[in-house]
């Protein structure tokens, strides 16, 4: 069975970024015991990732690269926020490099990275951590199957066999 929209896809992958000097930097990988399962064609994944997966079948292996403009976008130098120190009165000031869970005024959740702590503010980079990065995926399709009605209603995969685990 080949991957198509509204299929649940289970895939193992290894992700590297490719730096400006051509160096590959390992980011993450899945394991056979814990592959990535996703509902194909509903916008859960980067569109270019899904395009590369279209038509593959269980057992297929593929390597592909996703440029920043096809992935998480270019890094926006203006996407920086000065967070008031009193935001951290209960938790204490975060160290440089810490990931902060934030919520915008529409209730959307996202993460920011602390780039500086000054006497007046915590400076946070609001760009996605993979913004500006070229992504290199090495994938192996483990399984693909039509999504269940429940998965389609929920808008996400319930695991490789359709059973949601928590």
Give me the mean pLDDT over the 4-25 stretch.
94
Choose among 117, 132, 125: nearest CA to 72. 132
Beta bridge partners of 12: 140
Give me the mean pLDDT over the 74-89 stretch.
94
The predicted model scores a pTM of: 0.82
CB atoms within 10 A of CB 117: 18
Cα(155)–Cα(8) distance, integer angstroms: 11
pLDDT in tens, 136-164: 999 999 999 999 999 999 888 887 766 65
Angle at 165 between CA 145 and CA 8, to 5 degrees: 15
pLDDT in tens, 18-40: 988 999 999 999 988 899 999 99
Task: Give backbone dihedrals phi and psi of 37, rounded to 5 degrees, phi first.
Answer: -115, 130
Helix (H) / strand (E) element for 115: namely strand 109-117
Question: Is CATH 3.10.20.30 the right assignment for the domain spanning 7-72+131-154?
Answer: no
CATH 2.40.10.330 residue window(s) in the chain: 80-125
Per-residue pLDDT at 63: 98
Q: Do residues 66 and 133 lie in contact, with contact meaning Cβ atoms separated by under 8 Å?
A: no
CATH 3.10.50.40 residue window(s) in the chain: 7-72+131-154
pLDDT in tens, 34-73: 999 999 999 889 999 999 999 999 999 999 999 999 999 9
Per-residue pLDDT at 166: 43
- CATH fold for the domain made of 80-125: Thrombin, subunit H (2.40.10)
Across 5-42, b (16+ Cβ under 10 Å) vs e yields eebbbbbbbebbbeeeeeeeeeeeebeeeebbbbbbbb
């Amino acid at each position: 069975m080949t991957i198509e929209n509204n299929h649940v896809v289970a895939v193992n992958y290894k992700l590297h970024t490719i730096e400006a000097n051509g160096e590959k930097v390992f980011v993450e990988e899945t394991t056979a015991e814990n592959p990535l399962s996703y509902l194909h064609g509903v916008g859960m994944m980067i569109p270019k990732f899904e395009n590369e997966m279209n038509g593959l079948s269980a057992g297929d292996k593929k390597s592909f690269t996703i440029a920043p403009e096809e992935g998480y976008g270019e890094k926006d130098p203006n996407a920086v926020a000065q967070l008031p120190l009193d935001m951290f009165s209960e938790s204490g000031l975060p160290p440089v490099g810490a990931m902060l869970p934030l919520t915008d005024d529409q209730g959307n959740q996202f993460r920011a990275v602390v780039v500086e702590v000054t006497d007046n503010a915590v400076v946070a980079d609001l760009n996605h951590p993979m913004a500006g990065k070229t992504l290199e995926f090495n994938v192996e399709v483990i399984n693909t199957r039509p999504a269940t009605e429940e998965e389609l209603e929920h808008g996400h995969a319930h695991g490789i066999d359709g059973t949601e685990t928590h």
